[in-house]
Chain A
Amino acid sequence: MTDPTTRPGVGKPRTGDTPTDQPAGNPTEDRPAGQAGETPAQRRERSLGRLGDRKRARLDELARATADPGGVSLYRDALRRLRRNPVAIVGAVIVGLFVLVAIFAPLIAPHDPVQRFDELTRDLTVDSIPGATAGHPFGSDPLGRDFLSRMIHGSRQTLFVGVLATLIGLTLGVLLGAIAGAFGGWVDVVLMRLTDVMLALPSLLLAITLVAMASRSSQWTVIFAVAIVSVPIFARLLRGSMLAQRESDHVLAARALGVKERNIVLRHMLPNSLTAVIVQATLTFAVAILDAAALSFLGLGDPDINRAEWGLMLGVDGQRYFEVRPELAYYPALAIIVVALGFTLLGEAMREAIDPKNRR
């Protein structure tokens, strides 16, 4: 068990090489027959020799074909299952496209997202916002800016908000969870009581409270509020996973072998727990952008009118001008739904792939 990612206890190698077991007549072990000083096991192994080489080769081949790849690492195994799962592929493609659009937004977008166009503002009134025109396929936003360009640039801000909120939540949560899981005792009790208190509050209410407590809202209060909501989830997850492993066979084995406690935590327990955390992070991203949109909708979002962010566009303009031009809500909503769906699909598929229950 030197490799912490080797799945513990699952898929035992098929050669029963325990001292009490007679070594199996495993045809894959290509040992030359008839050597001097051979053990009884080898002698028995040799009994296959009677079959002649052709048949022996045939047996080898059969065994190889049906062999279970005994010690495939957790990640490689999970990856293999991910690649075969259409749900994971759809999720990954959505996420990949989203990230690409975000990275190359300035190259893709036809216009500057904050520039007001005369041809758009000319027809702009409170009751009428111009739709698609030549050069502006998505039409105008309420300030006469090119809506398509704002949508494309919005991917950047949305990615930024989502990633940052997730990272902050993850970092704080993992820190809390690891401390609680590693120390145990009263530290654990106090920290877990704290997460209990946070979990007792409905998540959006907690986020609202946090934003409301800041003197004025900004992009940062939104990110922070959305991040804090996920802290107790990450903390609980990591602690639970580490506690479960504390009792597990591979940690016991490491301890019995005299591995230092610090190394057990860092090299054996943490890596195993982190897979669950990464999966949760993927799911959290979806929740983060949905929550950010909800805060904008409640008037607690980013007050910067120049910033193009889907949640902001949906929550503020989309809501305000829903009667006038519902597309202002439809496009960002659709973008948010698709991206949230993409991350959820990917996360769910990852969780399924990592879950030992699904392993064969």
Chain B
Amino acid sequence: MSLLDVRDLSVVFQRRGERPFTAVDQVSFTVEPGQTVGLVGESGCGKSVTSLAVMGLLPKRGNRVTGEVLFEGTDLLKLRPDDLRDRRGRDIGMIFQDPLSSLNPVIPIGVQVAEVLERHRGMDRRKALREARELLDAVGIPDPDRRLTEFPHQISGGMRQRALIAIALACKPRLLIADEPTTALDVTIQAQILTLLKQLVDETGTALIMITHDLGVVAGLCDTVNVLYGGKVVERAARHELFARPRHPYTHGLLNSVPRLDSVRGERLHAIRGSVADNIPWVEGCAFAPRCDNVVDACLDGPPPLEPTASGGDLRCNNPVSEEVAVP
């Protein structure tokens, strides 16, 4: 049994007086215990909404979530709110993008770490704070005793994200969801945080869902990668397979827009033209068609199906990039 099995997850935002918007469109993927899975795509592709839906953190009103989110066989979407509350923070931890705004500005760091221990492990405040000190130490925050009483604005951005990681891992969850954990940080700090995450995941055997737009992050961390576009999975492959032979034109474009050490000098980077705003609805055809270099007539005859590939992944494309093109 997979640790997490997401089946046909859809999220439709419906505000009064507006057309419904499908942010996540029948997304399926699995996470095995201890595995690191990437969800990759541009902003607006539905990757963050997917993670919030898994956690049950979407606003209660104005959206409709369908499908199944099986965590160790239990459908999280069908749990009573209080039961889900018991699991959040204990079985599944989550780290967010902006460490400053994700920490409560008027509560000391120590309490923010301790309260999750008090909640799920029944510790009293004093014991929880002692444990919090150890956790802060474990995530590499220097002088953890002092940090316990400090407030988020008094510590650096990197330390804040470390504190959030400490909170998310406090109860030794079996799954950690990291939503763009390095985007708001300086480049040097980014690398440190990623190294830390990798180390912690390896040590504790926690499975990790890494949500990012940055293929560099994926390359260093993930076992399998799901590429999302317009709310749908367009390509799924093992990491090495994806980087060596991207099949979907979108994945291909993403890879080509990343500078590589082994590229020919003087060669220009390719950008994918247009933006997510140029999508067409999936019912009309492939959402990526208006931006696609490989577009064919069939792309506007309805959504292409997600089909298994020879290399064990999945692909949703009528005219995939052939391997010769992939390696320039």
Determine whether A305 belongs to the interface, using a CB cutoff of 8 Å to chain B. Answer: no
A51–B275 CB distance below 8 A: no
A14 touches B300 (CB 8 A): no
- Check A58–B273 contact: CB distance below 8 A: no
Could you tell me if A22 and B297 are in contact, using CB atoms closer than 8 angstroms?
Answer: no
Cα distance A23–B277 in the bound complex, in angstroms: 14
Sample of 14 A–B contacts (CB below 8 Å) = A14-B275, A14-B278, A21-B271, A22-B273, A24-B278, A44-B273, A44-B293, A48-B290, A48-B295, A50-B296, A51-B300, A55-B297, A58-B284, A59-B290
Question: Would you call A25 an interface residue if the criterion is a C-beta within 8 Å of the partner chain's C-beta atoms?
Answer: yes
B328 within 8 A of A: no
Chain A residues contacting B295 (CB-CB under 8 Å) are 47-48, 50-51
Give the distance in Å from the alpha carbon of A24 to the alpha carbon of B278 in the complex.
9
Which B residues between 233 and 289 are near A, CB-CB below 8 angstroms?
Answer: 271, 273-275, 277-278, 280-281, 284, 289
CB of B280 within 8 A of CB of A59, answer yes
Question: Most chain-B Cβ atoms within 10 A of its Cβ — which of A16, A21, A25?
Answer: A25
Nearest-CB distance from A86 to chain B (Å)?
12
The answer to whether B275 and A25 have CB atoms under 8 Å apart is no
Q: How far is the CB of B298 from chain A (nearest CB, A)?
A: 10
**Structural contact, A24 and B274, CB atoms closer than 8 A:** yes
Question: What residues of chain A have their CB less than 8 Å away from a CB belonging to chain B?
Answer: 14, 16, 21-27, 41, 44, 47-48, 50-52, 55, 58-59, 62-63, 68, 84
Q: Which B residues are within 8 Å of any A CB, using their own CB?
A: 17, 271, 273-275, 277-278, 280-281, 284, 289-291, 293, 295-297, 299-300
CB contacts (< 8 Å) of A68 on chain B: these are: 277
Q: Known contacts A14-B275, A26-B278; decide if A52 and B293 are in contact (CB<8 Å).
A: no
Which 9 residue pairs spanning A and B have beta carbons closest together? A24-B274, A25-B273, A55-B300, A25-B274, A14-B277, A62-B280, A22-B273, A22-B271, A24-B273
User: Do A52 and B297 contact each other (CB < 8 Å), given the known contacts A25-B274, A25-B290, A25-B291?
Assistant: yes
Q: Does the CB pair A51–B297 fall under 8 Å? A: yes
CB pair A25–B278 under 8 Å, yes or no, is yes
**Besides A48-B290, A63-B278, 10 new A-B residue pairs in contact (Cβ under 8 A), listed by A number:** A21-B271, A24-B274, A24-B278, A25-B274, A47-B295, A55-B297, A58-B284, A59-B280, A62-B280, A62-B281
Q: Which of A16, A47, A59, A63 contacts B275 (CB 8 A)?
A: A16
Q: Kindly list chain B residues whose C-beta atoms are within 8 Å of the C-beta of A25.
A: 273-274, 278, 290-291
A50 to chain B: which residues have CB within 8 Å? Answer: 295-296
